[in-house]
Amino acid sequence: MQQTSPGSLLTALRADPPLVQNITNFVAMNIAANVLLAAGASPAMVHAEEEASEFAGIARALTINIGTLSAGWMKGMHSAADAANRAGKPWVLDPVAHYATNFRRQAVDALLAHRPTIIRGNASEIIALAGGTNRGQGVDSRDPVEQAQSSARILAKAHGAVVAATGEIDFVTDGERAFVIEGGSRFMPAVTALGCSLTCLVGALAAVFPTDPLVSSVAALTIFAVAGENAARQADGPGSFAWRFLDALSALDGPTLDRQARIRAA
Ligand SMILES: Nc1ncnc2c1ncn2[C@@H]1O[C@H](COP(=O)(O)OP(=O)(O)OP(=O)(O)O)[C@@H](O)[C@H]1O
Ligand SMILES: Cc1ncsc1CCO
Ligand SMILES: [Mg+2]
């Protein structure tokens, strides 16, 4: 097992569980916390403006998601992103449905000014963020990841961030290097907030291996791809898939992950 393989990073996460602060949405809070616990990390959903920046000083990574945004939450997001940057800790932005309303567009522009370490969105969100025409509907993607690849590269260069575009396959780039990750299940987009949960896991892996956020992002995407594939084998539909996914995540170990990983340079 290579020292930076997804499997070795999963093993490292379990050996020293990172505390991850997530300012996520009301839909995602429960499932995202359970996903982080199943993977072996310590989630904390802390968003209030009175404490968000103080907590960012304690946590090893921060994730920010605008899924159910309101004005009060924005203040917590800004102060937490500031605090993470000042402490040199990685932070991840999930620009949920940012193309849908002016409020969201302005919020994402303001958050991008804090220079996220990683941006994780579905294909429609990544295409729209780079100024392209997308077919997304609300929080749901309707574009293939293949069409988001050039947008992801442009965004990565423009913002100095790692950018991950997810869907049937996943694509991730730092603007120079790029990887495609295959796996997952058709049930995944049918369970709400799995993408939001993935964003939190991307934060957890960035905490474990902050040196190279492209490598840590590949690990997080691969963990989801393999756990999703394993969970789908016996699932009857989105309901049983959801709990089987948590079980598959917690059953996954480093060597199995590396054996099942389907990652190729792009
Ligand atoms: N058709 C599919 N086949 C296999 N895996 C998929 C498919 N669609 C999505 N996934 C996987 O589901 C996970 C979430 O990605 P997705 O692009 O659905 O996020 P999202 O749209 O932001 O989700 P949400 O907004 O509901 O949180 C990723 O691991 C992705 O690889
Ligand atoms: C359904 C939904 N609505 C706002 S956020 C969210 C979770 C999936 O992005
Ligand atoms: Mg999403």
| DSSP of the chain | --TTSHHHHHHHHHHSPPEEEEE--TTTHHHHHHHHHHHT-EEE----TTTHHHHHHHSSEEEEE-TT--HHHHHHHHHHHHHHHHTT--EEEE-TTTTS-HHHHHHHHHHHTT--SEEEEEHHHHHHHTT-----BTTB--S-GGGGHHHHHHHHHHHTSEEEEESSEEEEESSSSEEEEE---TTGGGSTTHHHHHHHHHHHHHHH-TT-HHHHHHHHHHHHHHHHHHHHTT-SSHHHHHHHHHHHHHH--HHHHHHH-EEEE-
| CA distances to 33, 137, 159, 171, 219 from 23, in Å | 11, 23, 21, 24, 22
The yes or no reply on domain 6-265 and CATH 3.40.1190.20 is yes
Cβ(9)–Cβ(216) under 8 Å? yes
Convert the pLDDT of each residue in 110-159 to its tens digit.
999 999 999 999 999 999 999 999 999 999 999 999 999 999 999 999 99
> How much distance in Å is there from the Cα of 120 to the middle of ligand 3?
8
Convert the pLDDT of each residue in 68-90 to its tens digit.
999 999 999 999 999 999 999 99
Rounded average pLDDT over 224-238? 98
Rounded average pLDDT over 204-220? 98
Residue 2: band (very low, low, confident or very high) from pLDDT cuts 50, 70, 90:
confident
Atom 23 of ligand 1: nearest residue by CA position: 195
* pLDDT recorded at residue 164: 99
Average pLDDT, the chain: 98
Q: How far apart are CA 235 and CA 25, in angstroms?
A: 26
Q: Which ligand is nearest to the CA of 140?
A: 1
Residue spans of the domains in the chain: they are 6-265
* pLDDT recorded at residue 86: 98
* pLDDT recorded at residue 3: 86
Flag whether pLDDT at 1 surpasses 80: no
The pick from 96, 191, 197 for probing ligand 2's pocket by mutation, whose C-beta has the most ligand atoms within 8 angstroms, reads 96
Taking alpha carbons only, the member of 23, 41, 36 closest to residue 246 is 36
* pLDDT recorded at residue 101: 97
Give the total residue count for the chain. Answer: 266
Query: For residue 218, which amino acid is it?
Result: V
- Burial class, 237, CB count within 10 angstroms (exposed 0-12 / middle 13-18 / buried 19+): exposed
> How much distance in Å is there from the Cα of 74 to the middle of ligand 1?
25
Rounded average pLDDT over 167-173? 98
Report whether 188 belongs to an annotated binding site.
no
% of the chain surpassing 70 pLDDT? 100
Residues by chain with Cβ below 5 Å of ion ligand 3: 96, 195
Rounded average pLDDT over 216-237? 98
Q: Crossing angle, helix 238-251 and helix 213-232, to 10 degrees?
A: 130
Atom of ligand 2 nearest to the CA of 25: 5
* pLDDT recorded at residue 240: 98
Q: How far apart are CA 116 and CA 63, in angstroms?
A: 9
Strand partners, 118: 92, 162
